[in-house]
């Protein structure tokens, strides 16, 4: 076999790629992106991998969340701050409940590409290319908007850089200081039925930190910043290739456009281009695992993606659906345990629970999301393995995209504040409730 290169995937079948009118324009964009400075460093990537190895062993917990797909329009201060806030607050609740470090990862600063079930969409007899995320085309149903434009890849890179720049400033510069709980509060936690429990947790954590400072010599500045990592689906391979760089000191290739790429449920074919691409980079890799995953297929995939069985390298992001998890997960756990592959088991309770209402709106029911999370914990406990993380689609804004939760959203509320042009996200309160549930379960 020839030596792996960032472009090796081109000899394989790449599903879910847009068809550009002018391939040379795409090549020019890839050349330009290849000259840009990277967004992250190999040191950060390696540090994350070490932390994920710890989560795989049950000594830490991965919280991964964000939009199904970021939009160019949402590259503004307010949505970024709100997304960071909800993830920080969830992590606070999880740390307190689980008594473990929480690894915070956003689906952010690069999550601009979407797999679609069909290349084309038909409305009233008109057929246009499907919307594939803002880095490809635009969502309005016009021929001009739906035409894939290579220049959008530059737009996606620039917005990823701006988003990450602001996230770094926020997480390093005191926004995340636990001694300033006002930065950790969003308005409607005070309206939630859980607000008393939440405030008690914040006080408990703050007191513990003060105590640490007194007896452990830990300075406040150590506690005023948090680690925050980025992730996105490694879907559009020309873009991922352009951000793949050789780290000379480490003698290896890294995707430096994100810390933590994942392979989607639709592109994890063993002989496909996405697996070929991910096999050659040294980042930690997530793989979405769904009802169609077989035990043999999964082990084959792990053998290809992690032949050296490096700890922290592989995360299995399981997304079966509440009605299917019990029938699917146990056999996969058995196979992975028997293979002795070190993996981090994460739960994505979103993607197997998507439904369409009678009005044709895509939504998810909060109870089914919770149900899948609960079942995942129970199944792993039974099998003697650990749930090392959770993967959610959420936003810090007060959207009405998922049904249920203590706010009591019904299907009639969906039209009120439905902003996603792809999958429905948990709003702030629904996301916090999931965190409370996991934290509470861990303390039982």
HEC assignment per residue over 22-59: CHHHHHHHHHHHHHCCCCCCHHHHHHHHHHHHHHHCCC
Interface segment toward ligand PEP; rule CB under 6 A; list 116-124, 248-256, 261-269, 411-419: 261-269
Question: Which partner, ligand PEP, Mn ion, none, binds residue 213 by CB below 5 to 8 Å per kind?
Answer: none
**Residue 68 or 167 having the CB closest to Mn ion:** 68
- Judged by CB under 6 A, the number of residues near ligand PEP is 9
DSSP structure string for 144-171: HHHS--THHHHHHHHHHHHHHHHHHHHH
Site string for ligand PEP, 380-419 (x = CB under 6 A): ----------------------------------------
At 359, list the tokens.
Answer: 């009005």
If one asks whether residue 264 binds ligand PEP (CB under 6 A), the answer comes out as yes
Q: Which of 351, 364, 365, 425 binds ligand PEP (CB under 6 A)?
A: 351
Interface segment toward ligand PEP; rule CB under 6 A; list 171-179, 209-217, 259-267, 304-312: 259-267
Site string for ligand PEP, 35-74 (x = CB under 6 A): ---------------------------------x------
Other CB atoms closer than 10 Å to residue 163's CB: what's the count? Answer: 24
List of residues contacting Mn ion (CB under 5 A) = 68, 423
68 is in an annotated binding site: yes
Interface segment toward ligand PEP; rule CB under 6 A; list 173-181, 220-228, 262-270, 291-299: 262-270
If one asks whether residue 319 binds ligand PEP (CB under 6 A), the answer comes out as yes
β-strands 260-263, 285-289: how paired?
parallel
423 is in an annotated binding site: yes
Question: Which partner, Mn ion, ligand PEP, none, binds residue 46 by CB below 5 to 8 Å per kind?
Answer: none
Task: Give strand pairing partners of 394.
Answer: 426
Distance separating alpha carbons of residues 76 and 419, to the nearest angstrom: 15
At 127, list the tokens.
Answer: 């057929």
End-to-end CA distance of the chain: give it in Å, rounded.
Answer: 52
Distance separating alpha carbons of residues 274 and 264, to the nearest angstrom: 9
Q: Which of 138, 232, 245, 288 binds ligand PEP (CB under 6 A)?
A: 288
For 75, 213, 439, the CA distances from 206, given in Å and listed in that order, are 32, 11, 17
- On whether the CB atoms of residues 337 and 316 are closer than 8 A, the answer is no
Smallest gap from residue 400 Cβ to ligand PEP (A):
19
351 is in an annotated binding site: yes
Q: Which residues are annotated as a binding site for phosphoenolpyruvate?
A: 107, 288, 319
Q: Which residues are annotated as a binding site?
A: 68, 107, 288, 319, 351, 393, 423
């Amino acid at each position: 076999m020839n030596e792996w290169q960032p472009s090796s995937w081109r000899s394989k079948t790449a599903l879910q790629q847009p068809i550009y009118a002018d391939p040379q324009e795409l090549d020019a964009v890839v050349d330009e992106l290849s000259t840009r400075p990277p967004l992250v460093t190999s040191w950060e990537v390696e540090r994350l991998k070490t932390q994920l190895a710890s989560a795989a062993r049950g000594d830490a917990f991965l919280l991964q969340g964000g939009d199904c797909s970021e939009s160019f329009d949402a590259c503004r201060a307010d949505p970024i701050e709100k997304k960071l806030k909800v993830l920080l607050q969830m992590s606070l609740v999880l740390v307190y409940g689980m008594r473990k470090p929480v690894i915070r990862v956003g689906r952010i600063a690069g999550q601009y590409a979407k797999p679609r079930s069909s290349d084309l969409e038909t409305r009233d007899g008109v057929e246009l290319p499907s919307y594939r995320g803002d880095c490809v085309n635009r969502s309005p149903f016009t021929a001009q908007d739906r035409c894939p434009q290579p220049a959008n890849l530059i737009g996606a890179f620039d917005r990823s850089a701006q988003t990450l720049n602001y996230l770094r400033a926020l997480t390093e510069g005191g926004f995340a200081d636990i001694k300033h709980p006002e930065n950790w509060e969003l308005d409607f936690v005070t309206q939630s039925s859980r607000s008393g429990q939440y405030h008690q947790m914040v006080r408990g954590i703050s007191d513990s930190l003060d105590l640490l400072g007194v007896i452990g010599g830990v300075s406040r500045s150590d506690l005023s910043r948090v680690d925050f990592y980025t992730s996105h689906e490694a879907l559009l391979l020309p873009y991922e290739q352009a951000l793949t760089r050789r780290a000379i000191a480490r003698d290896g290739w890294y995707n430096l456009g994100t810390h933590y790429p994942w392979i989607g449920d639709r592109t994890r074919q063993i002989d496909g281009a996405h697996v070929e691409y991910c096999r050659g980079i040294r980042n930690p890799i997530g793989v979405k695992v769904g009802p169609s995953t077989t035990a043999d297929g999964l082990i084959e995939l792990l053998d290809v993606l992690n032949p050296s069985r490096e700890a922290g390298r592989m995360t299995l992001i399981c997304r079966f659906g509440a009605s299917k998890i019990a029938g699917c997960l146990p056999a996969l756990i058995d196979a992975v345990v028997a293979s002795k592959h070190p993996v981090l088991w994460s739960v994505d309770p979103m993607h197997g629970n998507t439904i369409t209402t009678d009005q044709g709106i895509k939504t998810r029911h909060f109870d089914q999301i919770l149900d899948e999370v609960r079942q995942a914990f129970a199944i792993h406990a039974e099998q003697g393995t650990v749930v090392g993380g959770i993967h959610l689609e959420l936003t810090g804004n007060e959207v009405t995209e998922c049904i249920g939760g203590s706010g009591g959203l019904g299907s009639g509320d969906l039209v009120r504040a439905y902003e996603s042009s792809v999958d429905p996200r948990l709003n702030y309160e629904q996301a916090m409730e999931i965190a409370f549930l996991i934290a509470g379960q861990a303390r039982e």
